[in-house]
């Protein structure tokens, strides 16, 4: 019995007492502390703490906890853990709370780590199963500093709740990390065993003050073998991204598709420190690839500062090569056009090698009309020595297109432009340059060539050694103009310069020559510069020289915007006192004083208005003095007088003396200006007076003034407008000026009466002209009422006009107006036209009836007309004063007759003419021949039908629909002429097409003989012979038209009239055709003599050919060898 008692006691101790002892040990703070102390001795990592509170059976707390391993350290100030041991009975380790406060967490790179040679296999072998479920209900990491590798510390707050089942399934109820600039939350499920199948959702919010707000919502599905993500971006960026990663452990492959709405990236660029530009992006970007290769395909729209570009194409990477295959850029906005980029960049890991090119067509910069019709930029070679080739064709910079071709070498410290050629209008300017920035910036260049038939040369050597500029050589010339400079902008040195023009007419309308020289001193890092002019001489061929009588020195400070200068005085032989201008600045006040005495008006006219038809004589004197405050924009003082009394205006034999002509100006109230003008010519009873008050010196300054004009003669107007001959008449005006400088207005009345005005160039006679312009002060717009007679017809002009704003509407109505009356042209018109003026654009609308016209140009049939592609070299073209937008319907009446170029007949039809600014006029409609004939080789062919058809194309290239016939009289009993014979002309006026017809049908050679000579081939007759000789001597446009038409109609290579001698009787009609590229045959038939010729030509080589000729008189052959010098 005793043994059973001890056995029972032993079982009781093992089953009950030992667990009770263990529970009592961990259930007490002292016991828990003892267990932790003993456990520290056996753990493979270092765990330390300063204090322990609580028990291991419920909630316990560590103070200054420290966990240390090779790659990880964790040292919170306070660590609290609460768990439920009783949950173990349910097979769950339930942790209710883990709370970590303060301290830091560090992640470090492993030292001397070895990688498993079969790491991929070890990953696939991972299979995690737990004996119990682990349920972490609440994890909080707060106010802790995170140190990840070598990056600066970051403060994070982490909140988490998760459960791991015994089968290794991790269910993340919540994982939320909060940073100062970022918040992210993760939820979902993932398997902890291979292949780690997962279904996760992430929400991230970027809220940094340095960047725009951005939210990203991402769904992650799949496993480590194939993982798919779907992301939605909102707020700062709006778009969707779908990505897929496969086989990351073996052979990684990836692909993605992204769809972006139009996003404003302006704030993102500003946050990155980029220059402030407005950037928008939207579209699609797709890609796929792996670790060693990638392919990106964009299809996006990018807008930079309202400049829109559509970009599509492909960019790929493989074997250290980036390939553009190709990228296309379509630009819209101020810059319009298409650019293609293709090529590659290789050897990325060593020295990159570039082989790429960009091509473009019709790229236009709309604001100034500059276009590049076609261009190419090619870059090839290593980055250390990159070859660059550029070819480009530009228009809009000059009157004709400009071709640019360049070849250069780019190195890390220099750019060597091996050649640069600019070609314009068959003239070329070429050059080369070396630009280096190795130590200091330097430029050496040479330019030579021809522009506008003048030689261009330049030699330049510059060095920039901050802050000093050294000009070792600067010698440039263009025709008679030259600029020479040498020296330095550095302490103790000056930059000397000289400008010379031996012919000012190359630059402007002014004739003569000028020479000026001086120096510039200063430094680039200082705001003060000084300009010296020690010589100035202007010599007009018809006048004495104008010279600077003493050297000029002027200083300028661009920071303070201040200057100082010595007096500027110009002398002219024949004037006792020179023209002088003195400027002085004290603080913000600029004082000026200018005076001139007895300056010849004809000299001023030669310099300012050299090309006007009238001539001024007399003398001008002027005195102007004042002071201007540059800061508050006030005129503190002004007193000026300009006088040219007793001056004369001459045109031809006519002359008018202005007994009085002066202008005065004076300031008022230290702000405004009072301006007065008086002009009088007693001999024609002409008086003009005006006063204008400008309240202050500012763009929006109010205006007030009056202008009064009375003249009982139009003789002065006749002198200023020599294109017309004005008879007797009078004019008067009473105007009030108001508004402001930016928007002046006028009111009052203007009257003009003339009994006769003749337009000399056209012979147009205008009689009984009465014009009245009236304006109300509240409107500021003149109402126009004018009437008169042009020829025998009445014309009226009505509408409104604002001269200051250059706007208005005028309606012109008339009937049977004799517009032109010259020996060549007679034109009677009945207009119903509206003119609308808007700045420099005139809109022309309405109808123009031409009831009668006669066009008979003298000797036009002998004129030589250049082809449409001929341009005159360096032809000067003055820009028109106005651009026109036209839409007019022209109707031809019953009496419109044209006699020119062998044509004589009456025309009728209707044509709508439209024209946009700076473009060719276009036509819609038709003009037909009512009756008429056409003379060719002395033969008149009747026009049965003739139409010029306009179908919206250019007005000078209408389509043709002509049918001409000839009546053939019977000349013998045995030979009956055809019933009808003629030709049809179709095509366009610049490319006519000729076809022949007859009834009954005859060979073309017979029809041609009937048309030209009125008889069939082989007929004889001295009279006809002489007629044909005269016809052949005429030649000209008719012969070319005929032969070209036959050649195009029958697809021949040659149709010509030719003679082997100077005797016209030997003239033959030749036709030729290439039967192969080497074999050519040619047949000729005599037009006056019964002869025929057959020529066979065969090309044996590039220089050797065989030619055989057979005629009615004999035959022969030649071997022809060509030697080129």
8 and 81 share a domain? no
CA dihedral sign, ordered 1041, 1046, 1051, 1054: negative
Q: For strand 686-694 and strand 414-424, is the pairing parallel, antiparallel, or unpaired? A: unpaired
- Domain co-membership, 36 together with 95: no
Indicate whether 145 and 94 sit together in one domain: yes
Q: Provide CB contacts within 8 A for 705, sequence distance 6+.
A: 675, 690, 691, 692, 693, 736, 737
Q: Are residues 3 and 128 in the same domain?
A: no
- Give the number of C-alpha atoms closer than 13 A to the C-alpha of residue 683, restricted to the C-beta side: 11
Residue 962, C-beta contacts closer than 8 angstroms, at least 6 positions apart: 929, 943, 945, 946, 947, 984, 985, 986
CA distance 216 to 247: 26
Q: Helix, strand, or coil here: 271?
A: helix
Same domain, 57 and 177: yes
Residues 187, 55, single domain; the answer is: yes
Task: Give the gyration radius of the chain's Cα atoms.
Answer: 48
Largest CA distance in the chain: 174
Residue at 246 is within a domain: no
* Sign of the alpha-carbon dihedral angle for 736, 739, 742, 747: negative
Find, among 290, 291, 295, 294, the residue nearest to 314 by Cα. Answer: 295
Judge if 30 and 158 occupy the same domain. Answer: no
Q: Round to whole Å and give the CA distance between 502 and 107.
A: 81
E-strand stretches of 35-153: 46-48, 51-54, 59-63, 66-68, 72-75, 78-84, 92-101, 104-107, 133-148
Rounded CA-CA distance 1004/1042 in Å is 13
Q: Are 139 and 164 a contacting pair, CB within 8 Å?
A: no
pLDDT along the chain (1125 residues), means of 10: 53 51 65 77 79 84 84 86 84 88 81 49 78 89 82 85 90 90 92 90 90 92 92 92 89 92 86 79 92 91 88 90 89 88 88 90 82 89 91 83 91 92 90 91 94 92 91 94 93 92 83 90 85 87 85 82 83 81 82 87 83 85 86 79 90 84 84 88 90 82 90 82 83 89 85 87 84 78 89 90 82 89 83 87 88 72 42 51 82 84 80 84 86 71 82 81 79 67 80 81 78 66 46 46 61 72 63 83 75 82 80 78 66
- The DSSP element (H or E) to which 873 belongs, if any, is none
* Helices within 834-953 (DSSP H only): none
Contacts of residue 906, defined as CB under 8 A and 6 or more positions apart, other chains included, come to 894, 895, 896, 897, 929, 930, 931, 932
From the CB of residue 590, how many other CB atoms can be counted at a distance below 10 Å? 17
Pairing relationship of beta strands 825-838 and 807-814 according to DSSP bridges? antiparallel
- Report CA-CA distances (Å) from 411 to 322, 381, 441: 21, 10, 14
Co-location of 9 and 22 in the same domain: yes
Inside any domain, residue 566: no
Is the preceding omega at residue 467 within 30 degrees of 0, hence cis? yes
SS3 of 468-535: EEEEEEEEEEECCEEEEEEEEEECCEEEEEEEEECCHHHCCCCCCEEEEEEEEEECCCCCEEEEEEEE
Residue 147 lies in a domain: yes
Decide: 71 and 107 in contact? Cβ < 8 Å.
Answer: yes
What is the bridge-based pairing of β-strands 1079-1086 and 1068-1074?
antiparallel
The answer to whether residue 143 sits within a structural domain is yes
Region of 990 on the Ramachandran plot (φ > 0 left; ψ -120 to 50 alpha; else beta): alpha
Domain final residue pick, 150, 173, 194: 194
Taking alpha carbons only, the member of 901, 815, 905 closest to residue 854 is 905
Burial environment of residue 192 by CB neighbours within 10 A (0 to 12, 13 to 18, 19 or more): middle
Q: What is the pLDDT of residue 972?
A: 54
Q: What was the pLDDT predicted at 974? A: 53
The reported pLDDT for the residue numbered 145 is: 85
Q: Answer yes or no: do 28 and 82 share one domain.
A: no
Q: Number of folded domains in the chain?
A: 2
Rounded Cα distance, 373 and 402, in Å: 10
Q: Which helix (H) or strand (E) holds 1054?
A: strand 1054-1058
pLDDT the model gives residue 355: 92
Residue 356: which of 365, 344, 347, 366 has the closest Cα? 344
Residues 59 and 36 in one domain: no
Residues 65 and 175 in one domain: yes
Any idea what the Cα angle at residue 223 is, between residues 218 and 224, rounded to 5°?
Answer: 105
N-terminal to C-terminal alpha carbon distance within the chain? 143
**DSSP-based three-state secondary structure for 413:** coil
Dist. CA 347–CA 334, nearest whole Å: 38
Where do runs of H (alpha helix) occur along 978-1084? Answer: 1004-1013, 1022-1034, 1036-1049
CA 582 – CA 894 distance, rounded (Å): 72
Distance separating alpha carbons of residues 1009 and 1018, to the nearest angstrom = 9
User: According to the model, what pLDDT value does residue 258 have?
Assistant: 94
Give the residue numbers spanning the domain of 10: 1-40
Per-residue pLDDT, 292? 86
Of 439, 449, 438, which is closest to residue 412 (Cα–Cα)? 438
Residue 783 has phi, psi (to 5 degrees) of -90, 125
**Contact between 675 and 663 (Cβ < 8 Å):** yes
Dihedral angle computed from the Cα positions of residues 1025, 1031, 1034 and 1035, in that order, rounded to the nearest 10 degrees: -110
DSSP string, 967-1008: -----SSS-PPPSEEEEEEEEBSSSEEEEEEEES---HHHHH
Domain boundary among 167, 194, 221: 194
Q: Is residue 174 part of a domain?
A: yes
How far is residue 954's CA from residue 270's CA, in Å, rounded to a whole number?
Answer: 51
Q: Where are the beta strands (DSSP E) in 633-685?
A: 634-643, 647-651, 654-658, 660-668, 672-681
The answer to whether 731 and 751 have CB atoms below 8 angstroms apart is: yes
Judge whether 781 lies within some domain. no
Instruction: Give the domain-ending residue among 153, 169, 194.
Output: 194
Domain assignment of residue 18, yes or no? yes
The two beta strands, 513-522 and 493-501, are antiparallel
131 and 24 in a common domain:
no
Asked if 602 and 615 count as a contact pair (C-beta separation under 8 A), the reply is yes
Rounded to 10 degrees, the C-alpha dihedral 997/998/1002/1004 comes to: -30
Residue 95 inside a domain? The answer is yes
């Amino acid at each position: 019995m005793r043994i059973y008692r001890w056995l029972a006691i032993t079982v009781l101790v093992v089953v009950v007492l030992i667990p009770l002892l263990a529970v009592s040990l961990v259930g007490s703070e002292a016991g828990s502390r003892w267990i932790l102390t003993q456990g520290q001795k056996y753990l493979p990592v270092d765990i330390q703490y300063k204090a322990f509170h609580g028990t291991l059976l419920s909630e316990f707390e560590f103070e200054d906890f420290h966990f240390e391993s090779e790659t990880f350290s964790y040292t919170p100030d306070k660590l609290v853990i609460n768990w439920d041991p009783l949950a173990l009975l349910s097979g769950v380790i339930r942790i209710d709370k883990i709370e970590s406060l303060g301290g830091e967490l560090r992640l470090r790179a492993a030292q001397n780590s070895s990688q498993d040679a079969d790491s991929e296999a070890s990953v696939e072998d991972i299979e995690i199963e737990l004996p119990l479920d682990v349920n972490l209900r609440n994890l909080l990491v707060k106010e802790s500093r995170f140190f990840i590798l070598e990056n600066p510390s970051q403060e994070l707050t982490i909140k988490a709740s998760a459960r791991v089942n015994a089968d290794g399934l991790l269910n993340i109820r919540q994982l939320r990390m909060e940073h100062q600039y970022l918040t992210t939350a993760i939820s979902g499920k993932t398997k902890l065993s291979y292949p780690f199948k997962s279904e996760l959702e992430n929400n991230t919010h970027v809220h940094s003050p340095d960047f725009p707000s951005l939210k990203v919502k991402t769904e992650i599905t799949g496993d480590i073998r194939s993982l798919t993500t779907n992301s939605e971006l909102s707020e700062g960026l709006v778009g969707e991204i779908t990505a897929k990663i496969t086989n990351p452990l073996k052979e990684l492959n990836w692909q993605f598709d992204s769809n972006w709405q139009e996003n404003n990236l302006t704030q993102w660029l500003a946050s990155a420190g980029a220059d402030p530009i407005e950037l928008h992006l939207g579209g699609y970007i797709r890609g796929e690839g792996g670790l060693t290769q990638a392919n990106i395909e964009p299809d996006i729209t990018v807008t930079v500062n309202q400049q829109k570009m559509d970009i599509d194409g492909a960019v790929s990477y493989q074997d250290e090569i980036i390939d553009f295959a190709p990228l296309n850029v379509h630009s819209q906005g101020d810059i319009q056009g298409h650019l293609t980029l293709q090529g590659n960049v290789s050897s990325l890991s060593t020295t990159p090698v570039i082989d790429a090119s960009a091509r473009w067509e019709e790229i236009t910069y709309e604001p100034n009309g500059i276009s590049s019709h076609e261009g190419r930029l090619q870059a090839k070679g290593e980055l250390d020595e990159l070859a660059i080739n550029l070819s480009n064709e530009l228009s809009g910079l000059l009157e004709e297109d400009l071709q640019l071709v360049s070849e250069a070498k780019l190195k890390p410290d220099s750019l060597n432009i091996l050649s640069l050629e600019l070609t314009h209008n068959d003239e070329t300017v070429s050059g080369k340059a070396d630009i280096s920035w190795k130590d200091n910036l330097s430029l050496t260049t040479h330019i030579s060539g021809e522009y506008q038939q003048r030689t261009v040369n330049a030699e330049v050597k510059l060095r920039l050694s901050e802050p000093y500029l050294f000009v070792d050589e600067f010698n440039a010339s263009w025709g008679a103009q030259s600029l020479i400079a040498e020296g330095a902008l550095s302490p103790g040195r000056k930059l000397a310069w000289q400008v010379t023009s031996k012919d000012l007419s190359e630059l402007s309308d002014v004739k003569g020559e000028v020479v000026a020289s001086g120096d510039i001193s200063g430094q680039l890092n200082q705001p003060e510069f000084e300009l010296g002019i020690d010589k100035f001489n202007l010599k007009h061929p018809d006048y004495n020289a104008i010279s600077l009588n003493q050297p000029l020195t002027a200083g300028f400070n661009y920071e303070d915007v201040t200057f100082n200068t010595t007096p500027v005085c110009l002398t002219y032989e024949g004037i006792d006192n020179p023209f002088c201008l003195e400027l002085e600045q004290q603080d913000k006040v600029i004082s000026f004083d200018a005076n001139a005495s007895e300056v010849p008006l004809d000299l001023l006219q030669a310099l300012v208005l050299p090309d006007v038809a009238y001539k001024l004589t007399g003398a001008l004197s002027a005195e102007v003095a004042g002071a201007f405050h540059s800061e508050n924009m006030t005129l503190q003082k002004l007193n000026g007088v300009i006088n040219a009394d007793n001056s004369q205006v001459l045109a031809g034999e006519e002359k008018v003396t202005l007994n009085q002509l002066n202008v005065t100006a004076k300031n008022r109230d230290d702000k405004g200006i009072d301006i007065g003008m008086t002009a009088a010519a007693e001999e024609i009873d002409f008086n003009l007076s005006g006063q204008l008050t400008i309240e202050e010196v500012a763009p929006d300054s109010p205006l007030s003034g009056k202008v009064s004009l009375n003249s009982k003669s139009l003789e002065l107007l006749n002198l200023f407008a020599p294109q017309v001959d004005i008879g007797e008449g009078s004019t008067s005006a009473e105007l009030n000026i108001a508004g402001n400088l930016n928007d002046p207005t006028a009111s009052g009345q203007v009257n003009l009466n003339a009994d006769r005005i003749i337009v000399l160039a056209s012979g147009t006679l205008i009689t009984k002209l009465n014009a009245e312009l009236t304006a109300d002060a509240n409107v500021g717009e003149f109402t126009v009422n004018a009437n008169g007679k042009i020829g025998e017809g009445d014309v009226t002009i009505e509408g409104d006009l604002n001269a200051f704003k250059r706007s208005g509407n005028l309606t012109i109505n008339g009937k049977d107006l004799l517009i032109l009356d010259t020996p060549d042209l007679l034109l009677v018109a009945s207009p119903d036209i509206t003119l609308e003026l808007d700045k420099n654009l005139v809109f022309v609308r309405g109808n123009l009836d031409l009831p009668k016209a006669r066009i008979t140009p003298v000797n036009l049939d002998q004129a030589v007309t250049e082809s449409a592609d001929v341009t005159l070299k360096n032809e000067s073209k003055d820009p028109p004063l106005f651009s026109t937008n036209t839409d007019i319907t022209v109707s031809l009446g019953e009496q419109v007759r044209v006699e020119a170029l062998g044509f004589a007949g009456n025309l009728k039809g209707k044509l709508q003419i439209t024209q946009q600014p700076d473009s060719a006029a276009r036509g819609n409609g038709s003009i037909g021949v009512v009756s008429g004939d056409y003379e060719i080789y002395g033969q008149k062919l009747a026009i049965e039908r003739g139409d010029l058809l306009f179908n919206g194309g250019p007005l000078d290239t209408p389509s043709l629909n002509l049918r001409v016939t000839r009546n053939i009289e019977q000349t013998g009993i045995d030979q009956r002429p055809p019933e009808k014979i003629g030709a049809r002309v179709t095509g366009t006026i610049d490319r006519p097409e000729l076809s022949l017809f007859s009834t009954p049908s005859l060979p073309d050679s017979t029809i041609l003989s009937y048309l030209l000579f009125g008889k069939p081939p082989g007929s004889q007759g001295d009279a006809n012979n002489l007629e044909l000789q005269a016809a052949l001597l005429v030649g000209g446009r008719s012969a070319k038209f005929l032969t070209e038409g036959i050649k195009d109609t029958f697809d021949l290579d040659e149709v010509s009239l030719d003679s082997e001698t100077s005797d016209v009787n030997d003239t033959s009609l030749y036709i030729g055709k290439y039967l192969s590229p080497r074999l050519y045959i040619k047949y000729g038939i005599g037009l006056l003599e019964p002869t025929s010729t057959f020529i066979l030509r065969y090309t044996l080589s590039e220089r050797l050919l065989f030619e055989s000729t057979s005629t009615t008189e004999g035959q022969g052959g030649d071997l022809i060898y060509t030697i080129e010098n």
